[in-house]
Amino acid sequence: WLRNVGGHFEFEKRPGVKQRFYGVNLCFTGNFMSADEAEELCTRLKRVGYNAIRIHHYERQDSERSCVTNAADGRLVLDVENMDRLDYLCSRLIRKGIYLTTDLYTARRVTWKDIGETGRDGVCPFKTLVHFHSGAYSNWCAFAELFLGHRNPYTGRTYAEEPALL
């Protein structure tokens, strides 16, 4: 596991050895590539010296590719096909020694209704509200629990258990 020691990163089993991370963002459809594309990308990233990837903009329901969708009752659910693509990509990155990071909110379309405000229509300013609105915070926690609790079949670990997820 990674930890902050005196303002720099160290792995718990390598005390005193400073760690640096050099990476790129993968956004939108770049998170949901085919298995062949994932293999090729991971090989190229490793060859040029990257050791970190930010999984970004992976949860916007109205985009072509997203890891979540809305069920008929309004609940967020994981999209099976896209999560499988993301799981495979992440497993291959991990196998190459490339660490992952992500935000638990980037572009998801959260409506006023989703946070319990039934008298308003449209998308709410979620990034602001999550800090002080209990409904927004509950919505954020529900997504975090859904995503981090998902078990990657290629690694056998949930994302919460994944030591390669910084």
For 144, the 3-state DSSP assignment is helix
Please say whether the beta carbons of 105 and 143 come within 8 A.
yes
Q: What is the pTM of this model?
A: 0.90
The Cα–Cα gap between 103 and 31 comes to: 14
Q: Is 136 left (phi over 0), alpha (psi -120 to 50) or beta?
A: alpha
For 55, the 3-state DSSP assignment is strand
Please report, in tens digits, the pLDDT of each residue of the chain (166 residues total): 788 999 999 988 999 999 999 999 999 999 999 999 999 999 999 999 999 999 999 998 766 778 988 777 878 899 999 999 999 999 999 999 999 999 999 888 899 999 999 889 999 999 999 999 999 999 999 999 999 999 999 999 999 999 999 8
